Amino acid sequence: MNNKFKQLLSDTTIFAIGNVLTKLILFFLMPLYTSAMTTEQFGVAELLSNSVDLALPVVSLCIYDAVFRFAIDRDSDHRLLFTNGIKILFASYIIIFTGLAVANFFIKYEYIWYFALMVFTEGLRRLSAQFIRGIGHTKRFTAGGVLNALSLCIFNVIFLAVLNRGIEGYLISIILANIVSVVFIIFSSGIYKYISLRAEDNELLKKMLLFSLPQIPNLLSWWVINLSSRYIIVGFLGAGMAGLFTAASKLPSVMNVLTGIFQQAWQFSSSKEIGSKDSGSFFSDVFKAYSVFIIVSCSGIIFFIPLISRVILKGDFYEAWVYVPLLMVSAVLNGYSVYFGTFYIAVKKNRMIMISTMTGAAISLIICLAATPLIGVYGALLASIVSYLAIVIIRIIDTRKYVRIDIKAFINILSFVLLLLQAIVMTFNLPFAQAVSGGLFVLIAGCNIFYYQKDIKMIFLK
């Protein structure tokens, strides 16, 4: 058990270093974006960038997810695995690019080929990165991510601040940063040695596709939950308001950094430990520490949001800070969905992860379309929270088929209710909002630390 905790902590630490460096670089690009582009330009640029997340699962068939999960297995043939991934990716790209060329002949769009290259380079980056992650090259995986962010920063300074290329400069920077990262990963890890065009295993290819294909509707559903609201806001409230909402959404990325760090290590650990004799105890202990961490961290961030926003959101963007507290609540629920969703990856059964996310996406779309015309941006915030909550409930109930986890329902429900209250107080700037928010932060932290003190001490000792 001690070795399992040490391995999880070691992987988390490595991913933490890389993710923190990466996100800090991206985080502090916000002042450059908000000073070099108008709210309308930033809204359009971000929508194009985010649309890559919509197109990539379809274009790539999510084959990079299968490459990662199968690479973890000790008996896997890495040469066949990576070669199958490359073949699927390029065959799909040829079909899609041909379709785009035909479509562009009839319907001209000035950014179509920028968009195509963003999809192409991002797919290659994810495939190569997930493969080296699956075979245990965590340090090179992390370095590749940091280099991608650093390159993006440099190219953004060149194309936005120096050359003043606006939206085009923003998109070109993303493409070039992806290329730099791919070249580094390929040559630093020597994974070009795993490519053999003559290698063929149709049975393995079938298993990979059976694993990866359900990820397509799953990821598209996440896109609906996370990004469709921005398109709806554009339609009902205009591109300027979408730019404000997008800027506000960048701040909860701090919370998503924390859960993303954990997810990368947790996917590896849960996949290796699923089915072992003491897995239930291990998973329960991890959940307790994880739950305390995300709840208390989120509450602390909400308390300091007005101060943080003054540094990050410049000019007209500052008024968007009031949207951040409720977005932080969504980020916490996303953290719980990540924890329980990982078990579907571990057992290689993605059907319910797809169904749960699709259910959340349907709820999000219905509420957002109905509420945004009535209450503006707050309709999108409501849709986000309700949809994430539905996903978490479904996954908690369903994953009992695979693992038994002691989730301590009372303390977690109490903490979430207090967190939601804190977010509402800050969002609507109720009387003595900052003082009430600070009191709720202390209460949430105190309750969790007191309730879990024995478990936390045991985990740190391990």
Provide the H-helix boundaries in 399-408: none
**pLDDT mean over 283-301:** 88
**Residue 73 within any structural domain of the chain:** yes
Which uninterrupted H or E stretch holds 227?
helix 215-237
Over residues 241-284, the pLDDT tens digits come to 888 888 888 778 777 777 877 877 787 788 777 766 777 778 88
**Residue 193 within any structural domain of the chain:** yes
Q: Any residues with CB less than 8 A from the CB of 45 and at least 6 apart, and which?
A: 33, 37, 167, 170, 171
Q: Where residue 462 falls among pLDDT bands split at 50, 70, 90?
A: low
Better pLDDT: 370 or 310:
370
Distance CA 174, CA 141 (A): 18
Over residues 30-83, the pLDDT tens digits come to 777 777 777 777 777 777 877 787 788 888 888 888 888 888 877 778 888 888
Position 170 scores a pLDDT of 83
**Residue 98 within any structural domain of the chain:** yes
Q: Where residue 300 falls among pLDDT bands split at 50, 70, 90?
A: very high
pTM for the model stands at 0.77
Which uninterrupted H or E stretch holds 165?
none
- What percentage of the chain reaches a pLDDT higher than 70? 93
Q: Which domain holds residue 85?
A: 63-212
Over residues 317-334, the pLDDT tens digits come to 778 888 999 999 999 999
Total domains in the fold of the chain: 1
Contact 459, 285 (CB under 8 A): yes
Over residues 214-230, the pLDDT tens digits come to 888 887 787 788 777 88
**Residue 24 within any structural domain of the chain:** no
**Residue 97 within any structural domain of the chain:** yes
**Residue 3 within any structural domain of the chain:** no
Over residues 122-153, the pLDDT tens digits come to 889 889 988 888 887 878 888 888 888 888 88
**Residue 114 within any structural domain of the chain:** yes
**Residue 33 within any structural domain of the chain:** no
Provide the H-helix boundaries in 73-214: 78-106, 112-134, 138-156, 166-189, 202-212
